[in-house]
Structure formats: structure tokens, C-alpha cells
Structure 1
Amino acid sequence: MATPANLTHPERADLHLPSVLFALSDPDRLEIARQLRAGPLDMAECTLGNPEMPKSTKSHLMKVLREAGIIRNEANGRGRRLTLRAEDLDARFPGLLAAVLDAPGAD
């Protein structure tokens, strides 16, 4: 059972293309993935287009990304550390992550 400090993450073999594509179809979730491409960030460091977005909504965005296997969300002191699971995604779906994150006109 997952506790707030220990969230569950799907194994590489359990990543499913429809779930990954759904998670990256939202502009805010896509922006989070793009930010994490440069390296891990604390959740508080992730910026969204709407700074007034409720904390609960931001948490939900992270949950969808985590459950799809796009990010790893782990306890880091009193905060959360987010990491893009690029290696797992590239192994499971070669080239997909780069194609989605680099898509022209997606800014």
C-alpha cells in the first residue's frame, strides 16, 4: 500500500501507450514533462502557465503523470522530488518521448 511518502509507480513493463499519450495530451502535464527533461526538480519548482492554479489541481497533474509512468515522484525531505522516467519510456516506446516533447507548435 502506498503512503504519502511512498507512492506507487508502474514498472517499465507495465507502461501502456494509451496512458502515456493521454497523460501528455494535457498542456500543463506536457509542460511539466518538458521542465523535467532538463533534470529532476522539487515539485515546488515546477511552474505552470497559470500561477493561480490550486495546489490540488497541480497535485492531480502530478498523479496522472506518475500513474502513466512518465514521472517518478519521491519524498525529498518535506517536499517531493520529480524525475522524468526517460530511460523507461525510451526503452518501452523508442523515440516517443522526444517526438512528443519536441513537437513543433506545441509551445
Structure 2
Amino acid sequence: MTTAPTSRELAHPARDEIRLEGVLHALSDPIRMRIVREMAVVDTELPCSYFSLPVTKSTTTHHFRVLRESGVIQQVYRGTAKLNCLRRDDLNTLFPGLLGSVLAGADGQADRLGSGDRLEQAGS
């Protein structure tokens, strides 16, 4: 059952509500993939302000919402900051190997295209 939000809580799908097609849709956008790749490098919560994205603040908010509503990330408020982390355990339980494969594929693509956008993945 989806968690009902209070004024400072954000709705997240329960583990059994996360659907593969939603996860794949969320990961299909280059900006959202970039966010996930950056989050995969660290094993801690990151504030939205950590990410330097080439889009407006409202578009950034949209991308984080898509990732949250698909079950890819967890967002929580700590004081005035909204912190983000991957739902790695949930994704690996539901779709074993998917996240690691997608992250490895993104690295391979960055290498192949010479974009210099290769990130070292931690614990994927």
C-alpha cells in the first residue's frame, strides 16, 4: 500500500507496488539516469542541491518526482533539505541484477561515446 503523506512526507510506492515498466520508464530519461548514476556512487542520502543538472529547478523537481513515484528513489525531509537515496535493496529484491546491469550499461555507453561521463559505481 502506498504510504499516505503528511505535509512533510512524500508518497512512495510500497515495495510490492513497484512495477518494472515504471522503473524502466524512470531510467529511460538521460537526466534521471544521470541522477541515479550519481546516487549509486555514494551510499548516503544526497540533497537535491547536490546535483548540478542542465535543467530548470521545476524540471529537476519533476525528474525527482518521477524517480520517487516509480520506486527508484526514496525522498525524506531532514530539516529544510529534501534528501534522496536509491531504493537499491527494494530494486534488487524485485528485479535481481537490473540496477547493476543498467548502471554498467550506462558506463559502457559513456565509454563508447567518449562523453567523459563515466562514474565509478559503488555496491551496484
TM-score normalised by length of structure 1: 0.91
Name the counterpart of 2:81.
Answer: 79
11-20 vs 36-45, greater mean Cα deviation? 36-45
Taking only the aligned residue pairs, the percentage that are identical comes to 40
Aligned positions of 1:24-103 closer than 5 A: 24-37=27-40, 38-39=42-43, 40-48=45-53, 50=54, 53-103=55-105
SS at 2:109's partner residue? coil
| CA positional deviation for 1:18 | 0.3
Query: Could you list the runs of 5+ residues in structure 1 that have no partner in the other structure?
Result: none
Shift in CA distance, 45/14, structure 1 to aligned 2, threshold 3 Å? same
* Total equivalences in the alignment: 104
Give the residue type in structure 2 aligned to 1:47. S
Q: Could you tell me which of 6, 9, 27 is aligned with 1:6?
A: 9
Name the counterpart of 2:114.
Answer: none
Name the counterpart of 2:120.
Answer: none
Give the residue type in structure 2 aligned to 1:16. R
Give the residue type in structure 2 aligned to 1:74. V
Give the residue type in structure 1 aligned to 2:109. G
User: CA–CA distance in 2 between the matches of 1:44 and 1:4?
Assistant: 21
| CA positional deviation for 1:3 | 4.1
With a CA cutoff of 8 Å and minimum separation of 6, indicate the structure with the bigger relative contact order. Answer: 1
| CA positional deviation for 1:46 | 1.6
CA deviation profile, 1:44-94 (whole Å, cap 9, x unmatched): 10222x1xx211100000000000000001101111000100000000000
Query: Could you list the runs of 5+ residues in structure 2 that have no partner in the other structure?
Result: 111-116, 118-124
